[in-house]
Amino acid sequence: MDEKEQIIVGVDEAGRGCLFGPVVAAAVILPDQFPDDVYKDIKDSKKLSPKKREILAQYIYKNALAIGVGIVDNHEIDRINILRATYEAMHKALHQAYAKKHFDFIKVDGNRFLPFIPSGEDADVVPHECIIKGDDTVLCISAASIIAKTTRDNIIADMVNADPELNRYMLLSNKGYGTKKHFDALMQYGLTDKHRLRSVT
């Protein structure tokens, strides 16, 4: 099948390298055409400001043919390890997207992926390609990176709003990554039930 005839889904994750909170993956199928040129701003989420990411996330939700989001919490990460948890989050996102629109090919950011089989008795493995720096070179992966990042950042913000004591770990600024201030707070206050034991012990 010619790539132009294929329905391609992009997949990326956010939070894999964190000490705190879930890992989140997104799967995004984009249209062949957009109503304007805003899509040209879609790129690796790490190269966008938080405000720009939110604007583009809303744009992607409005224009995408299908979006799936998969979330795996810190307890499951500790139980099965972060690599397997990342695959699980990606597969959750892909199942969601596939339920909305069937796709023929998966493009994944990075160099490793666990083959995906959709639900159904006669389903086969969907072909995939792993692309290093795909979040900066492939539009549907860039879109997935934005959805995954904004979803996870909002989860962290909701956690802090629900439990203001989490502010002492500077989570609103570090998003759960291992900054010096985060490690200093861990030394002073210890772990919370949302920290990943495998990452900090």
pLDDT in the model for residue 5: 80
Confidence of residue 18 (pLDDT cuts 50, 70, 90): very high
Check if the beta carbon of residue 21 is closer than 8 Å to that of residue 74: yes
pLDDT in the model for residue 185: 97
pLDDT(101) > 80: yes
Q: What is the mean pLDDT of residues 19-48?
A: 97
- pTM of this prediction? 0.96
pLDDT in the model for residue 115: 97
Q: What is the mean pLDDT of residues 34-46?
A: 96
Q: What is the mean pLDDT of residues 98-123?
A: 94
Q: What percent of the chain has pLDDT over 70?
A: 98
Q: What is the mean pLDDT of residues 28-44?
A: 97
d(CA 189, CA 200): 13
Residue 56 exposure: Cα atoms within 13 Å on the Cβ side: 28
Q: What is the mean pLDDT of residues 69-86?
A: 97
Q: What is the mean pLDDT of residues 86-108?
A: 98
